[in-house]
Copies of this chain bind each other. A is one copy, B any other.
């Protein structure tokens, strides 16, 4: 079984009860909770960051690890169009890690969460054989306005922010601007809010596991298929495969109704039309007429 099949199996057993305050459970970038009496919905995401799975200590400094732990969670909040409100961090450190390492980890972690006004409200701390982080981020937005994976409609245009493949190139080459992209991803929080508030985006997802996999997920949740019929914006020097299937770019993939005027840039970040949503086999993606199966990152393949 692959990752999505395992998740679907858990999801079938985790059906939400009829009377609860959850608006959305498993199946999107975040879960959505509606506090009684509040004009706001709260969105929640957790993301693991594990040594020798998501990072190696030979490539990532302690501050890089702290930064990335925060970036992964904040990127999910961005994909919902929400504003982060607080975070919790569970951290396991290995025996050989000292107080200096922990201080440097938190320097990177706080640098990113503070720049997005996200206080650390708690968490857990343990010793283990390898370093492990799990970040929980809570975000907020006006009731009923969250950008979902499930909102794309046939005819919608598909857009992506930034350029893709930089993180995969950085991981492969271990140098230059591409490595910086890999080590210090920038969650697109301001763009997410713009998509929700101003642009009227119909669906969004963050590109954590690769364009082919994440677009497949968006299409599956929206019960549509996608045709990619325009050049994908590729990070200078990256291969098309890295842009299509490489993960950890943390850009936003989103859909808008066909008439929507999308600016070419948002605060300097390119927004590029790469295709369109179509009626058809649920979750299927084609790239200039050829099938583009989900070949992004999968822990279980």
Contacts and interface: CB of A to CB of B under 8 A. Distances in A.
Contact of A120 (B14, B24, B35, B127): B14
A119 B299 contact: no
Output the residue of A13, A35, A86 with the most chain B CB within 10 A.
A35
A290 interface: no
Contact of A299 (B7, B38, B117, B125): B125
B36 A121 contact: no
Interface stretch (A46-54, A195-203, A245-253, A270-278): A46-54
Interface in A53-69: 53-54
Contacts of A6: 99, 102, 125
A26 B134 contact: no
A136 interface: yes
Nearest to A20: B119
Contacts of A130: 128-130
Interface residues of A, number: 67
Copies of this chain in the oligomer: 2
Interface in A13-33: 13-14, 16-17, 20-22, 24-26, 28, 30-31, 33
A7 B125 contact: yes
A127 B37 contact: no
Contact of A46 (B53, B123, B127): B123
Given A14-B119, A25-B122, A92 B138 contact: no
Contact of A122 (B17, B46, B106): B46
Nearest to A7: B125
Output the residue of A9, A128, A300 with the most chain B CB within 10 A.
A128
A212 to B, nearest CB: 19
Nearest to A102: B6
Given A36-B38, A38-B36, A50 B126 contact: yes
B122 A45 contact: yes
B33 A138 contact: yes
Nearest to A26: B122
A229 interface: no
Given A44-B138, A119-B25, A127 B53 contact: yes
Interface of A: 1, 3, 6-7, 9-10, 13-14, 16-17, 20-22, 24-26, 28, 30-31, 33, 35-40, 42, 44-48, 50, 52-54, 85-86, 88-90, 92, 99, 102-103, 106, 110, 117, 119-130, 132, 134, 136, 138, 140, 299-300
Interface pairs A-B: 6 shortest CB-CB: A31-B121, A35-B35, A134-B134, A31-B122, A38-B38, A127-B299
